[in-house]
Amino acid sequence: MKILDGKKISNDIKDEISKEVNEILKSSGKQPHLAAILVGNNGASQTYVNAKVKACERVGFKSTLIRLDENISQNILLNEIEKVNNNEDIDGLIVQLPLPKNFDESLVTNSILSSKDVDGFHPLNVGNMVLNLPTFISATPAGIIELISRYNIETSGKNCVVVGRSNIVGSPMSILMSRNTNPGNATVTLAHSRTTNLKELCLKADILIVALGKANFITADMVKDGACVIDVGISRVKSEITKSGWKLIGDVNFSEVSQKCSFITPVPGGVGPMTIAMLLKNTLLASKSKI
Ligand code: NDP
């Protein structure tokens, strides 16, 4: 069994981006700039945004963090987005999800200019992704594709099962794996909470990609011998061992599944760091398109 080391690969990607930023700075004076909007005080969201800001520093990007109170009206948020849309210096904008309950998430994400939508959530970018046209591909699925590619995992003709059909992970993942590209060309099954024969389907998967958000949900008896297992899930559970009192757990029961698969992503250190690396890559792309 081989670990798909997202931490290492994401560091390689950050080094590559950093090098390119230096070259762009020298030749054009342009420094890529990512803005992030965080509404409210959700602990996990704050951690994710901070990690994104830190990653920007690491590769030489400018970053702007806009923090808004949980009780603001949706119009105030839309105004902030408009300001960033009109700010020539800012190349990419992300609004950290989930938003507090009274916000319409799709209205908010659709308000981001598609050319600055480095999360790849705007309908125009999703449509381009489906049609295999140049676009910003949603960072988590793009990170998984990059990981598969850098470990030379064969996907063509393989059975791929994706568990979870969210707009940001499962659904785009299933499309990317079924496209006529490399990685891609897999025969894909997209499973969700209404799927009745999940175990049977998972047992047929050469590549099993799991994104449902339920700790340790996938057990060894659901995994084919020699499968490649990609665990997207992140659940925060109490721990008596860690300093913080919390630890992160994936959707896959790592200790038992790792005994029988060929490749597996750890949690943390697998898909998570790749997601941030691909967000940076999309921001670099947005910045370069303006030069
Ligand atoms: P959502 O809650 O939006 O989607 C969960 C999906 O899982 C839904 O499609 C749901 O089905 C399906 N599901 C739920 N229960 C079952 C079940 N028993 N059997 C089969 N399918 C089921 O989650 P996200 O896609 O946003 O995130 C999934 C996980 O990935 C979370 O833990 C999240 O924290 C993590 N994540 C990690 C990222 C990273 O960078 N590593 C990035 C983004 C997310 P239905 O549609 O029918 O309700």
What domain range is 41 assigned to?
28-113
Nearest CA to ligand 1 atom 13: 193
Global pTM value: 0.97
Claim to verify: residue 71 and residue 186 sit in the same structural domain: no
CATH of the domain at 221: 3.40.50.720
Is the domain of 106 the same as that of 144?
Answer: no
CA of 51 to the centre of ligand 1 (A): 21
Catalytic residues, which ones?
A: 52, 96, 119
CB of residue 197 inside a 6 A radius of ligand 1: no
Is the pLDDT assigned to residue 112 strictly greater than 90? yes
Whether residue 284 has its Cβ less than 6 Å from ligand 1 = no
The pLDDT tens digits for 117-149 are 999 999 999 999 999 999 999 999 999 999 999
> Is pLDDT larger for residue 237 or for residue 189?
189
Ligand 1: which residue has its CA nearest to atom 39? Answer: 272
Domain membership flag for residue 8: no
* Angle at which helices 6-28 and 139-150 cross, to 10°: 110
Q: Over the stretch 54-85, which tens digit does the pLDDT of each residue have? A: 999 999 999 999 999 999 999 999 999 999 99
Check whether 290 has a pLDDT greater than 90. no
The SS3 assignment for 188 reads strand
The mean pLDDT of the chain is 97
Mean pLDDT, rounded, for 152-175? 98
- CA–CA distances in Å: residue 222 to residues 102, 218, 238, 260: 38, 6, 26, 11
Confidence of residue 178 (pLDDT cuts 50, 70, 90): very high
Q: Is 244 a residue whose pLDDT tops 90?
A: no
Q: Would you say residue 15 lies in a domain?
A: no
pLDDT exceeds 90 at position 272: yes
CB 243 near ligand 1, within 6 Å: no
Distance from the alpha carbon of residue 214 to the mean position of ligand 1, in angstroms: 8
- Are residues 147 and 80 both part of a single domain? no
CB 238 near ligand 1, within 6 Å = no
Instruction: Classify residue 218 by its DSSP letter.
Output: B
pLDDT computed for residue 207 by the predictor: 98
In a domain, residue 162? The reply is yes
Pair 106, 66 in one domain: yes
- Which residue puts its alpha carbon closest to atom 31 of ligand 1? 213
**Residue 46's CATH number:** 3.40.50.10860
Confidence of residue 52 (pLDDT cuts 50, 70, 90): very high
Same domain, 150 and 44: no
Q: How close is the Cα of 31 to the center of ligand 1, in Å?
A: 35
- In this structure, the strands spanning 207-210 and 228-231 are parallel
| Residue 4 within a domain | no
Q: Is residue 10 part of a domain?
A: no
Is residue 58 assigned to a domain? yes
**Whether residues 188 and 91 fall in one domain:** no
Residue 23 lies in a domain: no
Assigned token pair, 13: 């990607």
Based on the fold, state whether residues 173 and 230 are members of the same structural domain. Answer: yes
Nearest to 272 by CA among 224, 236, 223: 236
Which tens digit of pLDDT belongs to each residue from 199-222? 999 999 999 999 999 999 999 999
Distance 213 CA to ligand 1 centre (A): 5
Cα of 267 vs centre of ligand 1, distance in Å, is 15
16-35 confidence digits (pLDDT tens) = 999 999 999 999 999 999 99
Q: Is the CB–ligand 1 distance for residue 189 below 6 Å?
A: no
pLDDT at 44: 87
User: Quick one: tokens of 91?
Assistant: 């190349």
Indicate whether residue 165 lines ligand 1 (CB < 6 A): yes
82 found inside a domain: yes
